[in-house]
Amino acid sequence: MSQSIQEHATDQEPAGDETALDPALAENSSKHPAANTVSDAPEATDVKSLVQNALERCQGLLFCDVASRGLSTGLSLLDEMSNGLEPGRVYLIAARPSMGKTSLLLQILAEVCLKQQIPSLFFTGDLSVPEVIDRLVFNRAMAPLHALTDPAYTPNKGDLMRIQKSAHELAGSGLILDGIRDLTIEAIAAKARDARAEAGLGFIVIDHLHLIRSESTPSETSRKRETVRVIHEIRNLALELGLPILVSAHLKRRAEGRLPRIGDIREAGAIEHEADFIGLLHREPPITDEECVELLVAKNNNGPPGAIRLFLTKEIQRFEEGPVVPNEEQEMIRAWRNYKSEKNFPWEGG
């Protein structure tokens, strides 16, 4: 089912000791000796060289050298807290259904793949491949995708030009899409290795973790133990290929009505052990057109935990970080809001 954009242009058990790896995991890890190093990192092993590399990296961070930071998510506060999306690290966003985690993943994917032109691979489970393409095109164009089904909606020339430009950028991006409904972690790893070798892959997004199975796990094995293997292999894959992997996950129902915690993630123990960064999306009712959403940073290997306030504009499924966004996007957002008020959209107040 894997395909490039060009080809498609037209309550769960409580968390226990899930971090203990079974012997099969250790045996599987030994088959990939490169899984403990970042492939693009220097091969020096003497302490003097390693210390020199560390000092150079620290100097780059101190003087805001872009090359010393990871890939930008497009959200400045998130980049500051996490130092961007760094090679060999696993970043996880968890939430209850309809909180916007898939929208956030797609927005970050567009930032990396379209703006930074980093070859990317997206495994989708909650959305079909055509739905992902539609969401990416319209999100980038700041256009309301669901408005197309409303007979009262008439796009103007500006709308059409932005949609066309967005579609053109996406078609030429080299983004690879694949569905994971029937995929195993072994198949995902194989596809990622092939894409790395053929297209210089630099970023992987998986939506979402709890849809992935493992073919090397016996059928009688519990789902909890299977998830231990899956997240462990995702971690190994990030290290082996030397790139960041962004993953989404579900929170248990008990997280509704209060601030979520890491323990609310399904099979939380293994995930907390393997992930470098864990963000929990949370928002309070009542639901409005522009919702205030909190990204609670519960684990952050590159800095302190904390909370980032985001604003989600529902019609275009786009997150903003307060009032400050890049100039081009600020103008597009302002134009969209003015256009919406002028059009008096029929779903307003509904």
Give the per-residue pLDDT at 156. Answer: 77
Q: What pLDDT, on a 0 to 100 scale, did the predictor assign at position 63?
A: 57
Of the candidates 42, 43, 71, 24, the one whose C-alpha atom is nearest the C-alpha of residue 230 is 24
Residue (of 305, 302, 306, 304) closest to 58 by Cα position: 302
- Phi and psi at 130, nearest 5°, equal -60, -35
- Output the tens digit of pLDDT for each of the chain's 350 residues: 555 554 444 344 444 444 444 544 444 444 443 333 344 444 556 787 777 776 766 665 555 554 557 999 999 999 999 999 999 999 999 999 888 899 999 999 999 999 999 999 999 988 899 999 999 988 888 888 776 677 777 777 888 888 899 999 999 998 999 987 778 999 999 999 999 999 899 999 999 898 898 887 776 667 788 888 999 999 999 999 999 999 999 999 888 888 899 999 988 888 999 999 999 998 876 555 557 888 999 999 988 888 998 888 887 888 988 644 455 555 555 555 555 555 443 333 33
Contacts 24+ apart (CB under 8 A), 227-231: 227/18, 227/266, 227/267, 227/270, 227/271, 228/18, 228/19, 228/21, 228/22, 228/25, 228/267, 228/270, 229/22, 229/24, 229/25, 229/28, 229/185, 230/185, 231/90, 231/267, 231/270, 231/271, 231/274, 231/275
The answer to whether the predicted template modeling score (pTM) of the entire model surpasses 0.85 is: no
- Look at residue 35 in the predicted model and tell me its pLDDT: 37
The whole-number pLDDT of residue 256 equals 84
